[in-house]
């Protein structure tokens, strides 16, 4: 690669990594401790392979299609209006799930930080939601800088935790497991590995260097996997079964503050993305878009707070299995259509057949079923 290609490759890969690594990572140690670190390790590796496969299909779809589109645009082109509807539903449902999860997470974090217990988590979560609604109403452009440093902050947080607590690892904590919780990590880890939505943007960045897309997708998938494994290794190795749902709560005030900032930037990025989608794609007014992005999640948060089942990791899990699973299945179906109806010759072609589609789809359907059954217990 020459200098220009290296720069574009770095930017494209950074976008992919930045989309993948969000505050959802804070829930991985808890589900890893619940089922067992080795069980979670298997989930991380296997789901990363599955999602990389789907990402490569999404990349091929982008390469086979002239023009720039979001996933919903590709879905409409290859699957019709119903495909677009389900793609948009998955996007909105996934973002809502994440935002509500962050209301849980920030509320509990502030409560523990200020009062040394989680008794005021609901009230503080609502206050945080209104604070975010105020910021998003006041102006988007001035807040973009927080979004830009968000990923760097998360990577810094993970790196510091690994360096500080690595020497406190106890091997016995890593070898423990609970077979009754074997399905618990699926949704949270799936959520943490999702990066479908970034691929159209990555394709745009590499428009003049399309031969780099495949390499960028593979590199962008490997980096989060390495960070997630190290993060889970250190926190579970240090805290074992006492690992809280929000990993930073177990590591002291400084890390709680860093965790809050991590969730703040992730909330901000998702909120702005959804508001942009509603304004520019759905043609909603600014007031209506703002209300749907900020006030509706607070109302939903207050409603589901009455049900003991819901929590920070449960909301991440629900978002992962439903939004992630549905989007993945749509991409698999689009890949078949794009191979026949695409209007451009791609720089790479990944084989696909109905066996692959059914096999991979069953994985996501299984995740949805286990999540629904868990909620009904």
Express each pLDDT in 92-113 by its tens digit.
999 999 999 999 999 999 999 9
The token duo for 368 is: 């949805």
Q: Does pLDDT of 260 surpass 60?
A: yes
Q: What is the pLDDT of residues 144-159, one digit of tens each?
A: 556 556 667 777 888 8
Q: Is 120 in a helix, a strand, or coil?
A: coil
Of residues 257 and 276, more confidently modeled: 257
Cα atoms in the Cβ-side hemisphere of radius 13 Å centred on 345 = 0
pLDDT of residue 139: 59
CB 56 within 8 A of CB 217: yes
Q: How far is CA 238 from CA 37, 171, 232, 260, 332, in A?
A: 12, 9, 10, 21, 40
Q: Which of 15-19, 75-79, 160-164 has the lowest mean pLDDT?
A: 15-19
pLDDT score, position 100: 95
Percent of the chain's residues with pLDDT above 90: 60
Q: What is the mean pLDDT of the chain?
A: 89
Predicted confidence at residue 330, as pLDDT, reads 96
CATH, residue 8: 1.20.1740.10
Residue 3 has pLDDT above 90, yes or no: no
pLDDT value of position 313: 92
pLDDT > 70 fraction of the chain, expressed in percent and rounded: 96
What's the pLDDT at 146?
60
Q: Which comes out higher in pLDDT, residue 139 or 175?
A: 175
Q: Which residues in 335-370 are b (16+ Cβ under 10 Å) and which e?
A: bbbbbeebeeebbeebebeeebbeebbebbeebbeb
pLDDT at 244: 93
Q: Which residue has the higher pLDDT, 132 or 371?
A: 132
Where is pLDDT greater, at 192 or 144? 192
* Highest averaged pLDDT of the listed ranges 26-40, 136-150, 299-313: 26-40
CB atoms within 10 A of CB 273: 16
Query: Do residues 339 and 64 make contact, with C-beta atoms less than 8 angstroms apart?
Result: yes
Q: What's the number of domains the chain is made of?
A: 1
Q: Are 258 and 153 in contact (CB under 8 A)?
A: yes
The DSSP line for 224-245 is: HHHHHHHHHHHHHHHHGGG--S
User: Is a pLDDT exceeding 80 seen at residue 312?
Assistant: yes
Strand segments, DSSP code E, in the chain are none
The 10s digit of each residue's pLDDT in 27-52 is: 999 999 999 999 999 999 999 999 99
Q: What is the CA radius of gyration of the chain?
A: 20
- Spatial neighbors of 213 by CB under 8 A, at least 6 apart, are 12, 59, 62, 63, 202, 203, 206, 347, 348
Domain coverage including residue 111: 3-376
Tokens of 48: 């990363």
The answer to which of 137-146, 290-299, 341-350 has the lowest mean pLDDT is 137-146
Name the nearest CA neighbour of 69 among 201, 196, 214: 201
Predicted confidence (pLDDT) at residue 10 exceeds the cutoff of 60: yes
Find the DSSP H helices in the chain: 3-20, 28-35, 37-63, 71-115, 121-138, 144-165, 171-175, 185-193, 199-205, 213-239, 253-276, 286-290, 296-304, 312-318, 325-341, 354-376
The CB-side HSE value for 142 (13 A sphere, CA atoms) comes to: 5
Residue 79: pLDDT band with limits 50, 70, 90: very high
| pTM as predicted | 0.91
């Amino acid at each position: 690669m020459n200098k220009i290609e290296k720069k574009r490759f770095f930017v494209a890969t950074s976008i992919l990594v930045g989309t993948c690594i969000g505050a959802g990572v804070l829930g991985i140690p808890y589900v890893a401790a619940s089922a067992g670190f080795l069980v979670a390790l298997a989930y991380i590796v296997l789901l990363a392979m599955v999602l990389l496969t789907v990402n490569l299909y999404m990349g091929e779809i982008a390469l086979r299609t002239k023009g720039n589109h979001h996933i919903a645009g590709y879905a409409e082109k290859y699957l019709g209006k119903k495909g677009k509807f389900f793609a948009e539903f998955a996007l909105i449902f996934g973002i809502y799930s994440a935002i509500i999860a962050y209301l849980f997470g920030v509320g509990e974090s502030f409560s523990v930080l200020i009062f040394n217990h989680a008794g005021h988590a609901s009230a503080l979560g609502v206050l945080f939601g209104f604070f975010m609604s105020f910021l998003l109403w006041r102006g988007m452009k001035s807040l973009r800088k927080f979004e830009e440093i968000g990923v760097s902050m998360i990577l810094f947080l993970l790196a510091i935790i690994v360096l500080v607590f690595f020497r406190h690892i106890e091997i016995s904590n890593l070898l423990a497991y609970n077979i009754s919780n074997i399905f618990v990590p699926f949704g949270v880890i799936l959520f943490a590995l999702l990066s479908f939505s970034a691929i159209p943007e990555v394709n745009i960045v590499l428009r003049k260097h399309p031969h780099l897309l495949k390499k960028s997708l593979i590199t962008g998938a490997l980096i989060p996997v390495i960070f997630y494994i190290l993060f889970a290794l250190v926190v579970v190795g240090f805290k074992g079964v006492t690992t809280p749902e929000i990993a930073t709560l177990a590591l002291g005030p400084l890390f709680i503050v860093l965790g809050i900032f991590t969730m703040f930037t992730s909330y901000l990025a998702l909120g702005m993305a959804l508001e942009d989608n509603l304004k520019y794609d759905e043609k909603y007014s600014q007031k209506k878009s703002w209300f749907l992005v900020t006030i509706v999640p607070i109302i939903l948060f207050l409603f589901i707070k009455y049900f003991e089942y819901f929590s920070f990791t449960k909301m991440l899990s629900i978002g992962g299995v439903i939004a992630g699973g549905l989007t993945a299945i749509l991409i698999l179906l689009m890949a078949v259509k794009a191979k026949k109806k695409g209007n451009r010759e791609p720089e790479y072609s990944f084989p696909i057949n109905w066996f692959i589609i059914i096999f991979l789809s069953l994985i996501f359907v299984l995740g949805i079923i286990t999540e629904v059954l868990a909620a009904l217990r």
